[in-house]
Amino acid sequence: MRVVVRFSETVHAAVAAWRTRLSADPQIRDQLAAAYLDELKQRLVRAGGIPKGALVESWRDPPRYWCELTGGAWVGYTVVPAGRLFGRREVVITELVAGPPPGAVPATLPS
């Protein structure tokens, strides 16, 4: 199954703020951010959207999953199930925060 990862427009400001905290040097900041975000995308794709160590707020509709990005930063995202027509699962990152929300529990891959 193909997994596609994308960032919602609602998270762009948080990602920009996170990037500024990575380094005072703009070149190093850009390199670090690119490496961290690429690694996150690869991890999500390899795991079908729910990597080991991910958390979930299952009471939300749709459920909100959480995965650590780096240095205590966590991303919140939803997993859109694969459609029969397109045969892909979509991971939509909607939040970037300093830590996982209280009450989130270990996640398992949805069917």
| Residue 46 included in any domain | yes
Number of domains making up the chain: 1
Q: Is residue 110 part of a domain?
A: no
| Domain range for 95 | 2-101
Summarised one tens digit per residue, pLDDT across range 19-49 is 999 999 999 999 999 999 999 999 999 999 9
Measuring CA to CA, which residue among 108, 99, 54 is closest to residue 77? 54
* Amino acid letter, 50: I
Is residue 30 assigned to a domain? yes
Domain harbouring 39, CATH code? 3.30.2310
- Does residue 109 sit within a domain? no
Q: In this predicted structure, what is the pLDDT of residue 85?
A: 58
Label residue 9 exposed, middle or buried (CB < 10 Å: 0-12, 13-18, 19+): exposed
38, part of any domain: yes
0.85 exceeded by pTM: yes
Residue 110 has pLDDT above 60, yes or no: no
Tell me, yes or no, whether 106 lies in a domain.
Answer: no
